[in-house]
Amino acid sequence: MILLSVVIALVLNSVSAQSPLARTEIGQPKSLAADYLLPSNIKPSLYEVELEPNFDAATFNGSIRITVSVVATTNAIVLHTYQLTVETASISLLDVNGAVVNSIAGTSFSNDDRQFYTISFEEVLVEGNVYTLIIDSFSGILNSQNDGFYLARYTDEEGNTRKLATTQFEATSARRAFPCFDERKLFDTIFVTENWPPHNSKPLVPGEPFPASMNQH
Protein backbone atom coordinates (compact mmCIF):
# COMPACT_ATOMS: atom_id res chain seq x y z
CA MET A 1 0.00 0.00 0.00
CA ILE A 2 1.23 3.45 -0.79
CA LEU A 3 0.42 6.28 1.56
CA LEU A 4 1.34 9.82 0.88
CA SER A 5 0.08 12.99 2.29
CA VAL A 6 1.26 16.50 1.73
CA VAL A 7 0.42 19.25 4.13
CA ILE A 8 0.94 22.65 2.64
CA ALA A 9 0.36 26.01 4.16
CA LEU A 10 0.38 28.81 1.68
CA VAL A 11 0.67 32.31 3.02
CA LEU A 12 -0.48 34.72 0.43
CA ASN A 13 0.51 38.29 -0.06
CA SER A 14 -1.97 40.88 0.93
CA VAL A 15 -3.64 41.92 -2.25
CA SER A 16 -2.90 45.40 -3.35
CA ALA A 17 -5.10 47.50 -5.57
CA GLN A 18 -6.58 45.22 -8.16
CA SER A 19 -6.27 45.87 -11.82
CA PRO A 20 -9.55 45.02 -13.54
CA LEU A 21 -7.56 44.01 -16.59
CA ALA A 22 -5.05 41.81 -14.78
CA ARG A 23 -5.95 38.81 -16.92
CA THR A 24 -5.14 40.54 -20.17
CA GLU A 25 -1.52 39.62 -19.47
CA ILE A 26 -2.31 36.01 -20.19
CA GLY A 27 -4.22 36.67 -23.34
CA GLN A 28 -7.86 37.30 -22.41
CA PRO A 29 -9.60 39.72 -24.73
CA LYS A 30 -9.91 42.99 -22.81
CA SER A 31 -13.69 43.06 -22.96
CA LEU A 32 -13.93 39.68 -21.24
CA ALA A 33 -11.18 40.13 -18.69
CA ALA A 34 -13.29 41.64 -15.91
CA ASP A 35 -15.80 38.79 -16.10
CA TYR A 36 -13.03 36.30 -15.55
CA LEU A 37 -11.94 37.79 -12.25
CA LEU A 38 -13.33 36.47 -8.99
CA PRO A 39 -15.46 38.87 -6.98
CA SER A 40 -13.12 40.95 -4.84
CA ASN A 41 -15.32 40.79 -1.71
CA ILE A 42 -13.40 37.88 -0.16
CA LYS A 43 -9.66 37.86 0.37
CA PRO A 44 -7.79 34.66 1.28
CA SER A 45 -4.75 34.90 3.55
CA LEU A 46 -3.81 31.34 4.41
CA TYR A 47 -4.31 27.96 2.80
CA GLU A 48 -3.76 24.71 4.69
CA VAL A 49 -4.06 21.85 2.27
CA GLU A 50 -3.78 18.11 2.67
CA LEU A 51 -3.65 15.97 -0.45
CA GLU A 52 -3.58 12.19 -0.56
CA PRO A 53 -2.90 10.48 -3.87
CA ASN A 54 -4.09 7.02 -4.82
CA PHE A 55 -1.47 5.88 -7.31
CA ASP A 56 -3.31 2.77 -8.47
CA ALA A 57 -6.53 4.60 -9.27
CA ALA A 58 -4.71 7.75 -10.45
CA THR A 59 -6.94 9.85 -8.22
CA PHE A 60 -6.44 11.93 -5.14
CA ASN A 61 -8.52 13.29 -2.33
CA GLY A 62 -7.93 16.09 0.06
CA SER A 63 -9.11 18.61 2.55
CA ILE A 64 -8.48 22.31 2.87
CA ARG A 65 -8.86 25.16 5.35
CA ILE A 66 -8.73 28.66 3.92
CA THR A 67 -8.57 31.71 6.15
CA VAL A 68 -10.51 34.51 4.49
CA SER A 69 -11.34 38.07 5.35
CA VAL A 70 -14.47 39.79 4.14
CA VAL A 71 -13.69 42.94 2.19
CA ALA A 72 -17.33 43.69 1.43
CA THR A 73 -20.43 42.06 2.95
CA THR A 74 -21.64 39.16 0.83
CA ASN A 75 -23.64 35.96 1.15
CA ALA A 76 -21.35 33.91 -1.07
CA ILE A 77 -17.75 32.84 -1.46
CA VAL A 78 -16.67 32.32 -5.05
CA LEU A 79 -13.45 30.47 -5.77
CA HIS A 80 -11.96 28.28 -8.49
CA THR A 81 -12.12 24.53 -8.97
CA TYR A 82 -11.36 22.50 -12.05
CA GLN A 83 -12.14 18.80 -12.43
CA LEU A 84 -12.60 18.46 -8.68
CA THR A 85 -15.52 16.79 -6.95
CA VAL A 86 -16.39 18.69 -3.80
CA GLU A 87 -18.51 17.06 -1.09
CA THR A 88 -20.95 19.85 -0.29
CA ALA A 89 -21.77 18.29 3.08
CA SER A 90 -18.12 18.61 4.10
CA ILE A 91 -18.10 22.42 3.78
CA SER A 92 -18.26 24.53 6.91
CA LEU A 93 -17.47 28.05 8.00
CA LEU A 94 -15.82 28.85 11.34
CA ASP A 95 -15.45 32.17 13.08
CA VAL A 96 -12.19 33.32 14.67
CA ASN A 97 -13.03 31.37 17.83
CA GLY A 98 -13.40 28.15 15.85
CA ALA A 99 -17.18 28.02 16.30
CA VAL A 100 -19.22 26.85 13.34
CA VAL A 101 -21.23 29.77 12.04
CA ASN A 102 -23.64 30.16 9.14
CA SER A 103 -25.16 27.32 7.12
CA ILE A 104 -24.47 26.49 3.53
CA ALA A 105 -27.48 27.43 1.41
CA GLY A 106 -26.10 25.78 -1.70
CA THR A 107 -23.19 25.41 -4.07
CA SER A 108 -22.88 25.75 -7.81
CA PHE A 109 -20.25 25.48 -10.51
CA SER A 110 -20.20 27.94 -13.39
CA ASN A 111 -19.85 25.13 -15.95
CA ASP A 112 -17.88 27.40 -18.23
CA ASP A 113 -14.25 28.30 -18.67
CA ARG A 114 -14.33 30.67 -15.70
CA GLN A 115 -14.37 27.57 -13.46
CA PHE A 116 -16.12 29.42 -10.64
CA TYR A 117 -17.32 27.41 -7.67
CA THR A 118 -19.84 29.36 -5.60
CA ILE A 119 -20.69 28.56 -1.99
CA SER A 120 -23.82 30.43 -0.86
CA PHE A 121 -24.61 30.97 2.81
CA GLU A 122 -27.90 31.34 4.70
CA GLU A 123 -26.71 34.57 6.30
CA VAL A 124 -24.32 37.27 5.18
CA LEU A 125 -20.60 37.28 5.87
CA VAL A 126 -20.02 40.67 7.39
CA GLU A 127 -17.41 43.09 6.13
CA GLY A 128 -14.30 43.12 8.30
CA ASN A 129 -14.85 39.63 9.72
CA VAL A 130 -12.35 36.82 9.38
CA TYR A 131 -13.54 33.25 8.83
CA THR A 132 -12.06 29.85 8.16
CA LEU A 133 -13.65 28.09 5.23
CA ILE A 134 -13.27 24.33 5.56
CA ILE A 135 -13.79 21.95 2.68
CA ASP A 136 -13.09 18.66 4.36
CA SER A 137 -13.55 16.38 1.39
CA PHE A 138 -12.82 16.84 -2.28
CA SER A 139 -11.33 14.56 -4.89
CA GLY A 140 -9.75 14.78 -8.28
CA ILE A 141 -7.83 13.01 -11.00
CA LEU A 142 -4.11 12.48 -10.63
CA ASN A 143 -3.63 13.47 -14.25
CA SER A 144 -0.72 12.70 -16.51
CA GLN A 145 -0.76 16.09 -18.21
CA ASN A 146 1.82 17.61 -15.84
CA ASP A 147 -0.77 20.04 -14.59
CA GLY A 148 -2.07 20.73 -11.09
CA PHE A 149 -1.49 17.69 -8.88
CA TYR A 150 -0.26 15.04 -11.23
CA LEU A 151 1.29 11.67 -11.71
CA ALA A 152 4.86 11.48 -12.98
CA ARG A 153 7.05 8.46 -13.55
CA TYR A 154 10.76 8.12 -13.09
CA THR A 155 13.33 5.33 -13.23
CA ASP A 156 15.13 4.51 -10.00
CA GLU A 157 18.75 3.32 -9.63
CA GLU A 158 17.74 -0.31 -10.20
CA GLY A 159 15.97 0.58 -13.41
CA ASN A 160 12.46 0.22 -11.96
CA THR A 161 9.76 2.62 -13.03
CA ARG A 162 8.42 4.45 -9.97
CA LYS A 163 5.41 6.72 -9.65
CA LEU A 164 5.56 10.14 -8.13
CA ALA A 165 2.86 12.67 -7.35
CA THR A 166 3.92 16.24 -7.82
CA THR A 167 2.52 19.66 -8.55
CA GLN A 168 2.55 22.37 -11.17
CA PHE A 169 0.65 25.47 -10.13
CA GLU A 170 1.64 27.89 -12.84
CA ALA A 171 -1.04 30.22 -14.18
CA THR A 172 -4.39 28.56 -13.54
CA SER A 173 -3.38 25.05 -12.44
CA ALA A 174 -3.69 25.19 -8.65
CA ARG A 175 -7.49 24.99 -8.97
CA ARG A 176 -6.99 21.49 -10.35
CA ALA A 177 -5.39 20.38 -7.08
CA PHE A 178 -7.61 22.14 -4.52
CA PRO A 179 -10.35 24.76 -4.39
CA CYS A 180 -8.64 28.16 -4.26
CA PHE A 181 -8.71 31.79 -5.29
CA ASP A 182 -6.54 30.99 -8.27
CA GLU A 183 -5.53 34.33 -9.67
CA ARG A 184 -1.95 35.24 -10.32
CA LYS A 185 -2.09 38.37 -8.24
CA LEU A 186 -3.16 36.27 -5.25
CA PHE A 187 -0.24 33.91 -5.62
CA ASP A 188 2.58 36.43 -5.70
CA THR A 189 4.32 34.98 -2.68
CA ILE A 190 3.69 31.48 -1.45
CA PHE A 191 5.46 29.92 1.49
CA VAL A 192 5.51 26.19 1.79
CA THR A 193 5.64 24.93 5.34
CA GLU A 194 4.28 21.39 4.86
CA ASN A 195 4.57 19.14 7.85
CA TRP A 196 8.26 19.84 8.18
CA PRO A 197 10.08 21.69 10.93
CA PRO A 198 9.73 25.45 10.41
CA HIS A 199 13.33 25.91 9.35
CA ASN A 200 12.60 23.78 6.31
CA SER A 201 9.92 26.17 5.15
CA LYS A 202 10.84 27.96 2.04
CA PRO A 203 9.27 30.33 -0.41
CA LEU A 204 7.86 28.73 -3.47
CA VAL A 205 8.54 30.38 -6.77
CA PRO A 206 5.31 30.35 -8.78
CA GLY A 207 5.60 27.80 -11.56
CA GLU A 208 8.14 25.62 -9.79
CA PRO A 209 7.06 22.25 -8.42
CA PHE A 210 6.35 22.03 -4.71
CA PRO A 211 9.12 20.31 -2.77
CA ALA A 212 6.49 17.86 -1.55
CA SER A 213 7.41 15.54 1.29
CA MET A 214 6.71 12.00 0.27
CA ASN A 215 6.72 8.74 2.15
CA GLN A 216 6.13 5.54 0.27
CA HIS A 217 5.40 2.38 2.24
Ligand X SMILES: *[C@@H]1O[C@H](CO)[C@@H](O)[C@H](O)[C@H]1NC(C)=O
Q: How far is the CB of 108 from ligand X (least distance, A)?
A: 23
170 belongs to the binding site for ligand X (CB under 6 A): no
Name residues contacting ligand X, limited to 51-80 (CB under 6 A): 52, 61-63
Closest CB 41 distance from ligand X, rounded Å: 28
User: 3-state SS string over 140-174?
Assistant: EECECCCCEEEEEEEECCCCCEEEEEEEECCCCCH
Q: Looking at residues 197 to 216 of the shown chain, list those that interact with ligand X (rule: CB under 6 A).
A: none
Q: How many chain residues touch ligand X (CB under 6 A)?
A: 6
Distance of CA 153 to the CA centre of its chain: 24
Which CB atom, from 79 or from 125, has the smaller least distance to ligand X?
Answer: 79
The whole-angstrom separation of Cα 81 and Cα 45 is: 18
**Which phi-psi region, left, alpha or beta, contains residue 171 (left: φ > 0; alpha: ψ -120 to 50)?**
left
Indicate the residue among 7 and 37 with the shorter CB distance to ligand X.
7
In this structure, is the dihedral angle defined by the CA atoms of residues 175, 177, 181 and 183, taken in order, positive or negative?
negative
Beta partners for 86? 138
Torsion angles phi and psi, residue 112, rounded to 5: -140, -175
**Residue 189, interface with ligand X (CB under 6 A)?**
no
Asked whether position 48 contacts ligand X by CB under 6 A, the answer is: no
92 sits near ligand X (criterion: CB under 6 A): no
Q: Is 5 in the site for ligand X (CB under 6 A)?
A: yes
50 binds ligand X (CB under 6 A): yes
Name which of 6 and 93 has its Cβ closer to ligand X: 6
Under the rule (CB under 6 A), what is the footprint of ligand X?
5, 50, 52, 61-63
